[in-house]
Structure 1
């Protein structure tokens, strides 16, 4: 048969001051457990409700008070996703205001074929008139009394030959998805986007520009994140030439210009975000800040920045999407270990949070039903410790 001894407040105060004397008067634990040496739960049993790291502990667990409302893990799911901070725009010199695409004057191809045929026929008639055609083509009918090519025949032959050259030399074939940029002695004269057989002034210099919707996949480009960690980035750019005149004349090579802008823009945008949320000083899931793992937000930022850079040269950028963002080979192994460590720490934190919530609910229910009224602060802390050890042991066996 067991007996219960009464303890006065003086004995409790003496037990707190003297370790040996107090240990002799401690009651037996309410929950027994042997697996207590490897569980780091000592921070839960301090008189100060805050641990050294500044994390507030539940008041119901420490002093048996009322339970505070907990924040659900998915409470931030409906919050608006913040956008990626764009770097300050880089000033790009605008194109010549007079250099804008306009329609050039061209004629149907039938007009060129007709003019070339008339010129060829005129040359034949001039040769026949001069009496040269029978000697050049035996058996062809000749004109009696022909004395050879004179001044008049030369004039007719030159005019007919020039007409034939202009007629046939100006024929061009317009293709779907292509445009001609026409210049005369270095001056822009217009653009042609028509298809089929056309006649263009043969004195004009033609430059063909592809105006179809195109995509370009970059090679792995070097970049750094906000913490200075080396990255390798591959992006997919969807674009087309909107102004053929500016694309052909405002820059030496618009495709090379676009490639250089993609590399520079990617380096500027990616350097404003952390690659992962576990970086020191990085804004991760704790405060809702984006990282480079948010492909949609990063793609929108890259698209806006690149479109502003490519507009002065007549290029329209529809989409810039990162297809691969990874660490550089020299730091990939170290960052992989750091990511695994961060995931492990996050898992341990979630387990500890679950244990604390369970202990808080248990103590709150016991307090509400009046089962812990006769327990003093020491017994209450011992109960909390035993409950924590029990719940941690249960989580470890799962």
Structure 2
């Protein structure tokens, strides 16, 4: 009997299951990626992020990096509008040009014979040629007159603490800060501006304290014009602009009544805010200080009663503390010196009598 042996197939291992996690859609994530033994990379510090995930899609949370915060930009005037020095000449040049024009007009009149008969002799001039007023003489008159007007018309006097902003056909041509006699092109439009240190006291403005109680505040602003080009051509009313800046700053800075909080700190914050708002228009603010702080009329009576009650409670607490200290000191001295022997009942009675006596004495003296 023969047996036929067939090759036995080598045993194969159990089929490796495909370890997949399937979400509600068709996205598949291999499990071995979730349980890796590799060391994690060094953590990267991230800014606070916003995590968003769409529901029902199996989508992994996405991290959004917040963009850089946008800085608050202040209003800017034309960047090319910056104060620069204007070109002027010494006043002697204008006087000389005007004198030359007057001399030219006189010479033309002598040439044309328009002067009185005795005038040439009085001026030491020879007799006039008396050629009459022709086109040449009229042209000489026009040239001499234009030179005289141009010379004398451009004379200006600069004073300390004042400046002149020059413009031609609406275009800025420069600023003159010189003092003394000088010559400026008479075709230029001149705008005077005061560059000295100035004080402006506001009327009562609405404000609030840290608790939101309505206040009325008057502030004193110390300021000056620093950039004349921006101050004159960028703002029409300087004090009106400062008033609006101060009102906007009072909304952001809580104030306190005198004696209840640091008024100086509020003044420093107001100065910084108003100075930052006024700098783009050429104004320099040195100080913004509250000079009068009071409650608004609608809450003045209630807050007055509240302050009186608080002061009265504080006074009563001070008086009570003083009386208790005095009673304690008296009882302690009597006991330690052996003047009296007191049990608990007698000690309580003595403390009571001394407290009533001290309180009555302080009430009579009004302290």
TM-score band w.r.t. shorter chain? 0.5 to 0.7
State yes or no: 1:310 paired with 2:289. no
Deviation at residue 158 of structure 1 after TM alignment: 2.1
CA contact (8 A) 1:359 1:384 kept: no
What are the within-5 Å matches in structure 2 for residues 76-225 of structure 1?
Answer: 91-131=73-113, 133-134=114-115, 137=116, 139-141=118-120, 143-144=128-129, 146-150=131-135, 152-225=136-209
Structure with bigger gyration radius: 2
What are the within-5 Å matches in structure 2 for residues 274-293 of structure 1?
Answer: 274-275=256-257, 291=261
Alignment partners' CA distance in 2, 1:215 and 1:354: 49
Q: 351-360 vs 101-110, which deviates more?
A: 351-360
Which of 301, 318, 330 is 1:350 aligned to? 318
1:35 corresponds in structure 2 to none
Alignment partners' CA distance in 1, 2:171 and 2:347: 91
Long gaps (5+) in structure 1: 1-88, 278-283, 285-290
* TM-score, with structure 2 as normaliser: 0.67
Structure possessing the higher relative contact order (Cα contacts under 8 Å, 6 or more residues apart): 1
Deviation at residue 251 of structure 1 after TM alignment: 1.3
* TM-score, with structure 1 as normaliser: 0.62
Deviation at residue 262 of structure 1 after TM alignment: 2.5
More strand by share: 2
Alignment partners' CA distance in 2, 1:102 and 1:96: 14
2:358 corresponds in structure 1 to 394
Could you say what secondary structure the match of 1:310 adopts?
helix
1:26 corresponds in structure 2 to none
Could you say what secondary structure the match of 1:397 adopts?
helix
Deviations 1:114-170 (A, max 9, x none): 101101211222232233x13xx45334533514222x3233222222211110111
Alignment partners' CA distance in 2, 1:201 and 1:353: 81
1:34 corresponds in structure 2 to none
Long gaps (5+) in structure 2: 1-70, 121-126, 363-367
Alignment partners' CA distance in 1, 2:225 and 2:92: 30
Alignment partners' CA distance in 1, 2:82 and 2:219: 30
